[in-house]
Amino acid sequence: MSCVYVISEGKQGPVKVGVANNPNPRVRELQSGNPKRLSLANWWKMPDRATAFSVEKEILGEMARYRLMGEWIDADEFGMCALVETRIEERFGL
């Protein structure tokens, strides 16, 4: 199972958009290198890994001007989750 996830440093962000088979261990992996408490804001099960990476790529491209480093984005948790949900529905009908 592949998922697109949003991990957050708090309600006001920043947030990370990524792909994982299971997002819960991913939060723990990222937590070890982050002094702020991370949480899994939301995740969406994708039909396959290619679709998951397509969603991730689209979101990261759309939010490029707000990217801080890597896949971390200067955005609030609620807004990012709403954007991911909308793009998944619009582009992939999921």
Task: Name the band, by pLDDT with cuts 50, 70 and 90, for residue 74.
Answer: very high
Q: Whole-prediction pTM value?
A: 0.91
Span 10-16, mean pLDDT? 92
pLDDT of the residue at 94: 67
Distances (CA, A) of 8 to 2, 14, 41, 82, 89: 19, 6, 6, 14, 22
Residue 52 has pLDDT above 90, yes or no: yes
Element (H, E) at 2: strand 2-8
Residue 79 has pLDDT above 90, yes or no: yes
Q: How far is CA 54 from the centre of its chain?
A: 12
CATH classification at residue 40? 3.40.1440
Instruction: Write out the residue range of the structural domain in which residue 26 sits.
Output: 2-92
Task: Name the band, by pLDDT with cuts 50, 70 and 90, for residue 47.
Answer: very high
Q: Average per-residue pLDDT in the chain?
A: 92
